[in-house]
Amino acid sequence: MENAPLTDPFSRAISYLRVSVTDRCDFRCVYCMAEHMQFLPKRDLLSLEELDRLCSSFIALGVRKLRVTGGEPLVRRDIMTFFRAMARHLDSGALSELTVTTNGSQLARFAADLAAVGVRRINVSLDTLDADKFARVTRWGRLAQVMEGIAAAKRAGLRVKINTVALKGFNEDELFRLTDWCAAEGHDLTFIEVMPMGEMEEAERLGQYWALTDLRARLAERHTLLDLTERSGGPARYVRILETGQKIGFITPLSHNFCESCNRVRVTCTGELYMCLGQEDRADLRAVLRASPEDAPLHDAIREAIARKPKGHDFDYSRAHVSGQMSRAMSHTGG
């Protein structure tokens, strides 16, 4: 049983773990968290040693891809200690990929260190190339700092993928500016539908939900789009723009449900395992971690939780109100 692959009730092998290492962030993006956040007490967060043990258990059970998220993961004190610990699984071949999703603010400091431990590609969240709009959507962010970080990542040899949340009335007019900039810089680009999680009021003032079917149709007015069959282990569907050769991804949890191929789970910075981003069911792995130094109970708890992984989520924007809305903020679960 111990060596059996980690498989959910629908015969999906769980090979991808997204782990949040902190709920803290140096931005306050309007669709992610409140401006004046009450962050968790530090005793509630997993220590770096506990994060190591937890992620190593998932890897022992068959996880091949580990994505480090937050909050903003690179603001966690001594975070490179954790990345260096995870690098041993890359060296052994147990882990195929170690990667990170970041807002880019700390990349100028950490890009070379990340590359040195075996990170090969990163995702940078960037919703606009306009400095004033960037300050408005992030509340505390500076675009110049992020652009400097992205340049540092490129110099370090990291492959950069830009993640852009599609926000109606906010970045619709930048569609071609964003795609042209990514083409010129050699970055892949993925558009993400905004998800109904956390405090929505201010995000709603931005206009919020912009269906990617509409965004794609607008792209197709100017470019020739070729559908690609490839998958990156995540939910994105890809096209290639024939005129530029660049790859564009679409993550559409609302207008297109991708649950049938879901191979991932999420662990929060407090050790809660969420089997589905769009469901509230979770397992408290922190209690198991802290109850025993032995890994067997932890492995059992992980298997028991995966046995409850649902077939899909319930997000739906097609009705008069947003159904399936999650009360927790994205910063709690990890991007």
Is residue 211 a part of any domain in this protein? yes
Is residue 51 a part of any domain in this protein? yes
Is residue 49 a part of any domain in this protein? yes
Across 129-284, the runs of DSSP E, i.e. the strands, are 159-166, 188-193, 225-227, 237-241, 247-251, 264-267, 272-274, 282-284
Is residue 2 a part of any domain in this protein? no
Is residue 3 a part of any domain in this protein? no
- Are 238 and 230 in contact, with CB atoms under 8 Å apart? yes
- Residue ranges for the known binding site for [4Fe-4S] cluster are 25, 29, 32, 259, 262, 276
**What is the dihedral angle through the alpha carbons of 98, 94, 84, 75, rounded to the nearest 10 degrees?**
40
Half-sphere exposure for 150 (CA within 13 Å, toward CB)? 22
Give the whole-angstrom CA distance, residue 203 versus residue 247.
Answer: 28
Is residue 78 a part of any domain in this protein? yes
- Residue ranges for the known binding site for GTP are 18, 67, 101, 161, 264-266
Give 128's contacts (C-beta < 8 A, 6+ positions apart). 134, 137, 143, 170, 171, 174
- Are 51 and 334 in contact, with CB atoms under 8 Å apart? no
The pair of structure tokens assigned to 26 is: 């140096």
- Residue ranges for the known binding site are 18, 25, 29, 31-32, 67, 71, 101, 125, 161, 195, 259, 262, 264-266, 276
Is residue 1 a part of any domain in this protein? no
The domain total for the chain is: 1
Q: What does the pLDDT profile of the chain (335 residues) look like in tens digits?
A: 566 779 888 788 899 999 999 999 988 888 778 878 888 998 999 999 999 999 999 999 999 999 999 999 999 999 999 999 999 999 999 999 999 999 999 999 999 999 999 999 999 999 999 999 999 999 989 999 999 999 999 999 999 999 999 999 999 999 999 999 999 999 999 999 886 544 545 445 445 789 899 999 999 999 999 999 887 656 789 999 999 999 999 998 654 455 666 788 999 999 999 988 666 778 999 999 999 999 999 999 999 999 888 766 554 434 334 444 444 444 455 55
Give the whole-angstrom CA distance, residue 266 versus residue 279.
Answer: 12
- Read off the amino acid at residue 147: M
Is residue 10 a part of any domain in this protein? no
Beta bridge partners of 17: 66, 265
Across 24-173, the runs of DSSP E, i.e. the strands, are 65-69, 97-102, 121-125, 159-166
Residue 204, pLDDT score: 52
- Greatest pairwise CA separation for the chain in angstroms: 59
- The whole domain housing 113 covers 16-333
Alpha-carbon Rg of the chain, whole angstroms?
19
Residue 199, pLDDT score: 52
- Read off the amino acid at residue 169: G
Residue 3, pLDDT score: 64
Taking the CB of residue 309, how many other CB atoms lie within 10 A of it? 22
Q: Residue 197's domain is classified under what CATH number?
A: 3.20.20.70
Residue 38, pLDDT score: 83
Taking the CB of residue 30, how many other CB atoms lie within 10 A of it? 26
201, burial (CB in 10 Å: exposed 0-12, middle 13-18, buried 19+)? exposed
Give 6's contacts (C-beta < 8 A, 6+ positions apart). 13, 14, 15, 58, 61, 62, 63, 302, 303, 306
Give 189's contacts (C-beta < 8 A, 6+ positions apart). 161, 162, 164, 178, 179, 182, 246, 247, 248, 249
